[in-house]
Amino acid sequence: MTNPTDEDASKVLDLIEEQKARKAEREKQLATVRAHFAPLEEKCRRLLTPLKPADNQTRTKKDFLLTAHRTVDASQLPRPYLIYFLMVELLGYTDLGRWEKLAWSIPVDLDGHAYAIEHRKFGVGVFTQDTTVEEVAGANRIADLVSQAVRAARPYFEWKAEQAVAASHFNVTNNSGHLFERFTYLTSLYEETAAEAERRKDERVVTPIGENGTLHTFPSYELGRKTRWLAMAAIDAFFSWTEHMLIHLAILNSRITTGDEFSKGVVGEWNAKFKLALDIADDSIMRRHYDELVVLKRRLRNFVAHGAFGKEGEALHFHSSAGAVPVYYEADGGKAKYSLTEGLSFDDGQALKTIEDFIAYLWSGPRETARRYIQDGDLPTILTLAQNGTYAKALTSEDEMEILLDHLGNEWMNAANMDW
């Protein structure tokens, strides 16, 4: 083992000074925020009264924080982060910091008695020295006071959210796997029902009615109707999945790296999301899939979204010397368009085959690594990783993606278990 050099010692001192500077800058920022929200801070303090930060006058037992009992659980308290933002950031209560299985600990005083509000592995809670009737009542009172103050502090929380989005320091929740499971579930039901309808296409059920009458029913007819419903539900589930998945794919591809870009992308139309996440200008196969899906979306999904007037869009029939003539309806940019000529007809099975072919091509080749993150990883997409090139590196190979998934998976597991 080598002895530390003067250069090593200098680096350590520089690191300490850097940490001090960061702490000072954070305290300065918090002071600025508190000054801005001074009226709200005063209101929240009044609502919390007589609760206050614990001090030298607070009566407490030795080793209280190590032996305290959970008296009020998370069901009676607001979200942990709201309590923390209110009490530590806005009101300046002391956070004793992390410990094993402990995210934060705020010692408080109620009528001279010591309590602690802590976020532990099994949730946030109010902790007491004993479980006497008096202390249990005090803990419940603290929960009521904190809940009341959190409700009043909503303007501060809204400001915090706006700041986080503006700074692009946030993760985007990834529900792609669950949404895709819904699509595959509905597709499997469609296939089962369609197969049963085909098997029973020649079946006729004769039911006696009265003394001489009979009722003839055809099971395949009812099964055919259910098949149509399931097909439409599956297609709607597909577009719901893509609306969500395409945003995550755009983040992985570093086409969304800021809060502003995310805000614009997430409220955009499906067509815009597709073009944002996938290249259709230089990829003729993807362009073909896009064109087919646009037609499918217009002909089938709009049937559900715009009143379900007719499978082919036949919303009206007008009277003429030629008889009843269908008038075809189509939603175009929020406006209704009518025509006497129908658009492209469709077939349920072919529509789902179009979707199946797109999904197969979507996750082929260079996008296979993206599929592993979005569909299999069950992890949020993180804008800072899109900004600093981490995702770009991970997308280059299976090995790089495996390294990233393992790292993030361990980080999430450690955070969930509070293994600091």
In a domain, residue 36? The reply is no
Residue 344: the pLDDT is 41
Could you say which of 146, 166, 186 is where a domain stops?
166
Residues 219 and 270 placed together within one structural domain of the fold: yes
Residues 156 and 130 placed together within one structural domain of the fold: yes
Domain of 138, in residue numbers: 41-166
In a domain, residue 10? The reply is no
If you search the block for the tokens 């870009």, which residue do you land on?
261
418, 102 contact by CB (below 8 A): yes
Can you name the residues that pair with 323 across neighbouring β-strands?
A: 320
Residues 307 and 383 placed together within one structural domain of the fold: yes
Residues 179 and 267 placed together within one structural domain of the fold: yes
* Predicted model pTM: 0.75
In a domain, residue 398? The reply is yes
Residues 130 and 191 placed together within one structural domain of the fold: no
Could you say which of 115, 138, 166 is where a domain stops?
166
404, 394 contact by CB (below 8 A): yes
Residues 139 and 261 placed together within one structural domain of the fold: no
**Looking at the 3D structure of the chain, how many domains does it have?**
2
In a domain, residue 221? The reply is yes
Helix, strand, coil percentages (3-state) for the chain, rounded to 5, are 60, 15, 25
Could you say which of 166, 190, 222 is where a domain stops?
166
Q: How far apart are CA 129 and CA 115, in angstroms?
A: 7
In a domain, residue 380? The reply is yes
In a domain, residue 11? The reply is no
User: How do residues 267-277 score in pLDDT, each as one tens digit?
Assistant: 999 999 999 99
Residue 158 has pLDDT above 50, yes or no: yes
Residues 76 and 222 placed together within one structural domain of the fold: no
Residues 66 and 212 placed together within one structural domain of the fold: no
User: How do residues 39-84 score in pLDDT, each as one tens digit?
Assistant: 999 999 999 999 999 988 888 887 887 888 899 999 999 999 999 9
Residue 235: the pLDDT is 92
Q: Tokens for 186? A: 């509905």
User: How do residues 364-382 score in pLDDT, each as one tens digit?
Assistant: 988 999 999 999 877 999 9
Residue 420: the pLDDT is 60
Residues 233 and 326 placed together within one structural domain of the fold: yes
Dump the DSSP string for 42-99.
HHHHHHHTT-EE--TTSB--TTHHHHPEEEE-GGGS--HHHHHIIIIIIS-------B
Residue 333 has pLDDT above 60, yes or no: no
Residue 405: the pLDDT is 93
Angle between helices 348-362 and 284-296 in degrees, nearest 10? 150
